[in-house]
Amino acid sequence: MNVARIQDALKAGAQGAALAVVGWIPSLMMSVLATLSIAFIPLGVGVLTTPPVLLAVRSYADRRRLLAEEWAGPRIPSPYEPLPPPARGGLMGRVELTNRLLRDPATWRDLRWLFVDTTAAATVAVLAPGLLAEGAFGVLLAAGLWKPIVGASDDYWYGFIPVTSWATAFAAGVLGCVWLAVAVKWNPALIRTHFRITKAQLAPTSEAELARRVEKLTETRRDAVDASAAELRRIERDLHDGAQARLVAMGMDLGTVEMLLDKDPAQARKLLAQTRRSSADALAELRDLVRGIHPPVLAERGLGDAVRALALRLPLATEVTVDLDGRADAPVESAAYFAVSEVLTNAAKHSGADRIRVNVHHTDGMLRIAVTDNGRGGAVVGAGSGLAGVERRLGTFDGVLAVSSPAGGPTMVTMEIPCALS
């Protein structure tokens, strides 16, 4: 028999034992506590106990979601509605929080899952170690364990076999081998079934997922519109204060040159030279403006070279690693480029780092970019921060931003955008 399959069966048996014992007890306790706490809400006591109990249930359910992904593969989303900061404290704040938690459909899915986890899911999980234990016991009976057992009890049955002699003990051993073979074949499937039951209870319904999707798209569309309006205002301001002002000044200088051509040619030549310098400055400002809208290097050579060009302009030592076997759509490349630009700018200005690493790669239909610096840490995604703008920019394309920045560093900013490469 395949050694790997035996190892998988033993591993699944250990996982099943852990789920049936270590998982079953907390699920039962939380189920009882949550039921009693909600039942005591009309008495007033439940208002104080329900929020911490339900938040503990959420934390416990999230850990089981992670366990499902690690042990069996299925990814179970965490569909909780975000809790706003408390508008007031005291008893009324507790009432508002309780009401908010109980209005979230995910709360009731969690409570239903606790009941299922202590019944059907636990039964499926315990079958995995049960098959191994039953099979091993049958083999031990055939090895001679039947004698003391039969000696202590005149009538002993192993399954449907009455064990009274070596012959019947051998038959019990054969049946035990059958149970072990069943365990080797089906134990991993039993663990996967346990987590399928978990997913069926904890995962949001298609209607709830669609509602969340619509809400997220509405929010990202609003953010995209606001970002576009802000970008247009920036372009207008840059044109008005920069190139436009220089062009107006050039027009005035050229008018003065026309009047001085006959009267003071030397002064006219000076003004022409000044006008030529102004035209060069205006052209440079227009190029910078165009680069801010869509960098030529991005359009011509793609995201990898554009990020390398960004790194060359930084005052810090920056290492860039790119692993892309194609190009994403232009809007995705543009969003990724400006997101990286903002993160690098933040790192150069605020992190106190002396080295930055940028990794750009595409895998499993996802463009992933990680920016790591060895600075002081403490970066957060908050209102008004550059990272919040990056998060909004990525959200337009269903992208996500993750920031790990403990005090003392290092800081890692990870950006992901779902896309395909051409």
Q: How far apart are CA 147 and CA 111, in angstroms?
A: 48
Best-predicted range by mean pLDDT (109-113, 227-231, 328-332): 109-113
Judge if 152 and 245 occupy the same domain. no
Among 189, 204, 219, the domain-final residue is: 204
Tell whether 217 and 239 lie within a shared domain: yes
Start-to-end CA distance of the chain, whole Å, equals 46
Q: Are residues 285 and 366 in the same domain?
A: no
The answer to whether residues 247 and 387 belong to one domain is no
Q: Are 314 and 349 in a shared domain?
A: yes
Q: Are residues 133 and 8 in the same domain?
A: yes
- Are 121 and 184 members of one domain? yes
Domain count, the chain: 3
Which among 71-80, 195-204, 257-266, 285-294 has the top mean pLDDT? 195-204
Q: Which domain holds residue 41?
A: 1-204
Q: Rounded mean pLDDT of the chain?
A: 81
3-state secondary structure 113-124: HHHHHCCHHHHH
Same domain, 344 and 395: yes
Count helices and strands in the chain by DSSP H and E runs: 14, 7
Q: What is the DSSP string of 319-373?
A: EEEEE-SS---HHHHHHHHHHHHHHHHHHHHHS--SEEEEEEEEETTEEEEEEEE
Question: Which residue carries 């990794």 as its tokens?
Answer: 359
Which pLDDT belongs to residue 178?
92
Q: Are 339 and 396 in contact (CB under 8 A)?
A: no
Q: Same domain for 289 and 313? A: no
Residue type (1 letter), 287: R
Q: Among positive and negative, which fits the CA dihedral 188, 192, 195, 201?
A: negative
**249 and 374, same domain (yes or no):** no
Domain boundary among the residues 177, 204, 231 is at 204
Which residues fall within 8 angstroms of residue 58, CB to CB, at 6 or more apart? 80, 106, 107, 110
Find residue 361's DSSP bridge partners. Answer: 323, 368
Task: Identify whether the C-beta of residue 74 lies closer than 8 Å to the C-beta of residue 68.
Answer: yes
Q: Are 398 and 223 in contact (CB under 8 A)?
A: no
- What are the backbone angles phi and psi of residue 362, rounded to the nearest 5°? -130, 125
Residue 290 pLDDT > 70, yes or no? no
Q: Examine the fold and report which residue of 260, 275, 293 is the final residue of a domain before the chain moves on.
A: 293
Asked whether residue 216 falls in the same domain as residue 200, the answer is no
Average confidence (pLDDT) over 340-369: 86
Q: What is the pLDDT of residue 85?
A: 67
Residues in Cβ contact with 203 at an 8 Å cutoff, skipping those fewer than 6 apart: 76, 77, 79
pTM (predicted TM-score): 0.56
Confidence of residue 81 (pLDDT cuts 50, 70, 90): confident
Pair (32, 168) in one structural domain: yes
Q: In which band, very low, low, confident or very high, does the pLDDT at 235 lie, cut at 50, 70 and 90? A: low
